[in-house]
A and B are shown apart, each in its own frame.
Chain A
Amino acid sequence: MNDQMTKYANLEKIMEPKSVAVIGASEKPGKVGNAIMQNYVDVGFQGKLYPVNNNGIDKIMGFKVYKSILDVKSEIDLAVISVPAEIVPKVMEECGKAKAKGIVIVSGGFSEVGNTGIQEKVVSISKKYNIPVIGPNCLGVMDPRARNDTLFLPTFKIDRPKIGGVSFVSQSGSVGSSILDLISSEGFGLARFISYGNAAVVDEVDLLNYLSKDKYTNVIVYYIEGVKRGREFVELAKTATKLKPVVILKGGVTPSGVNAAHSHTASLAGSAQAYEAVFRQFGFVEAETLEDLLYFAKIFDTQPFATGNRIAIITNGGGHGVLATDALYKNGLVLPELSKSTQKELRKSMPPIVNIRLPLDIGGDAGEQRFVAALEALSKDPNVDAIMSITLFQTPGADEKVASSIVEFGSRKEKPLVVVSTGSTYTRSHTNLIESSGVPVYDSPDQAARALAALIKYSRYRKGMIT
């Protein structure tokens, strides 16, 4: 574990560098080394930036160009390498001599195309100088708080998420960048993003270790295709998943039925089942789709724990109440009976047309007053573990006052609260407000129910209950 501890300490320099050398920086638009430089300029990186290139250019984007990192002569926290694979070892040696504290290799052409020899060199040079390396064959890292961004994706092509508490780790660059783009249109924000590619040095175990202890990270979201150190991953997970939720999507579900199986057990329990077992047993939150990653991230980022599965639905649309009820039961959740005192309280505050039972349909003309009264009553009811508020903004009564009252209510964090709001422009202007204030919003009851089920399952795990 000692080795891991040093890597952990050093990842801070990769995530929050005060000085960055871009090796392979280029003045030619369209080149990876150009996009990386442009990004550092665009995101407003506050530290020192040192473009490195030996092609004779003096300046790139106004920054003095160095022929080698060894010419920089100042402290370098992070070296971003985007040169062809075959010269990466030479460049890494120079980074080592220049005492760079961390390296990101974005270049491809290593073990992913069968070039294991060069990748082994990367590993041995990293060991020799004791420098943590992210990659190769990856996008690298993004840290909006530190304005650090090694992604070679131009800012006009992919939106950058705002600062927040969700950290996202992706083995794949394309999954990573597309999800990042989506996160930026969600109400929640990003703590750290790490695309780690071939995981030659820093792998999923190191990253889980680092992020589980990271003070800025509330939720870890993982896209993995495989784990290199299975047993270490499991050992670490035992503590990591007790510190914060780890949502995981495993790509590449290989069919079970190993050729060599001589027993029923071996033919049933293939690699996919092993991963599923690990996720269940060690408290991971398993996502089935890319969408799940987003739905789960936002509920875990903001909502309190709930170990019971009784969900109160409030709705200003009858059909949505029916669909939401179906969605609850499909996901192992139930609609409870309201307590006598809640029924009494609601009878007083609701007009006669409102039936006092769940799903609580407060009417298409419901405005702020009815939403507030319903939220107040249900949050006190001991029969209710969490609340789903279906808030359709197409209705005459739903407006910014309704949105604000949900925000106000959500800030109390007494019980988990999620909002379902289906719609476009007008709706989104309100749901953006709600979500950026810390109440997750879903387009459909099914998404909301899936997220609630995941929250409850994880809450039960954290409380040591059988899940």
Chain B
Amino acid sequence: MTSLFDYDKAKVLLNKYGIKSIESRYVNNAEDAIRFSKGDDIVLKVLSQKAIHKSKSGLVKLGLKEDQEIRKSYNELSRKASKLKPYKIIAQKMVKNGIEIIIGGSVDVQFGKMVLLGLGGIYVETFRDFAVRLCPINKQDALSMISQLRSKKIIAPDKKSEDMIANLLLKASKMFYNSDFSELDLNPIMLHDGTYDAVDIRLLK
């Protein structure tokens, strides 16, 4: 049976491989979330084994800033989530402007572990702009994956961003290859201000 790896533990694992993720914390009530926000825009998400597509199921609330907004959204999410027990609600800082990419991993019955890079976000399966390689990959493979994308000029407009994505891809591929997970979704990873943040992490066994 497929099971979702705990978000906080996944964050620690990514960090071990030098992959940055967005500042986040599990919250137990609305006041907790307000304290986490400290006036910044935040996102609230329900995490549950029973909810695979969070945003499709309305289990994500974006761009929350005012105390009242946070309170209202928290209560709404916990009401929805009551059907999905056990669940946790996580609060994350929000990156407003950025380009969304996906880095993922899966296992092919014939060839084994594979790594994927693509234009990310909620339209990933609509645009289907992605490249796949067998693990392990080298720098050459990573660069060739980037150059294979139709959206190359959007996600990697210059040499610096290309290198950043290639290195990130190498780290993620290494982490997935060394692990005993069968599926990985880093979707989206937000590219912004010359850096990036993994915003959603999904590791499955």
Contact = CB atoms under 8 A, between A and B. Distances in A.
Interface string B124-168: 110010111110010011011001100000000000000000000
Contacts of B128: 268
A260 B2 CA distance: 9
Nearest to A226: B110
Given A271-B108, A271-B109, A277-B134, A263 B204 contact: yes
A274 B134 CA distance: 8
A278 interface: yes
A277 B125 contact: no
A156 B54 CA distance: 65
Interface in B174-188: 183-185, 187
Contacts of A178: none
Contacts of A269: 104, 106, 108, 114, 116, 130, 132
Nearest to B2: A262
A467 B141 CA distance: 9
Given A263-B202, A265-B183, A265-B184, A230 B110 contact: yes
Nearest to A276: B132
Interface in A264-287: 264-269, 271, 273-274, 276-278, 280-281
Contacts of B183: 261-263, 265-266
Contacts of B204: 262-263
A340 interface: no
Interface residues on B, range: 35 or more
* Listed residue (B4, B124, B132, B148) with the most chain A CB atoms within 10 angstroms of its CB: B132
Interface residues of A, number: 26
B111 A268 contact: no
B42 interface: no
Contacts of A263: 104, 106, 183-185, 202, 204
A230 B140 CA distance: 22
B147 A466 contact: yes
* Listed residue (B108, B112, B124) with the most chain A CB atoms within 10 angstroms of its CB: B108
Contacts of A234: 111, 134
Interface of B: 2, 4, 52, 102, 104-106, 108-112, 114, 116, 118, 124-125, 128, 130-134, 137, 140-141, 143-144, 147-148, 183-185, 187, 202, 204
6 contacts: A234-B134, A261-B106, A265-B106, A265-B183, A268-B118, A269-B104
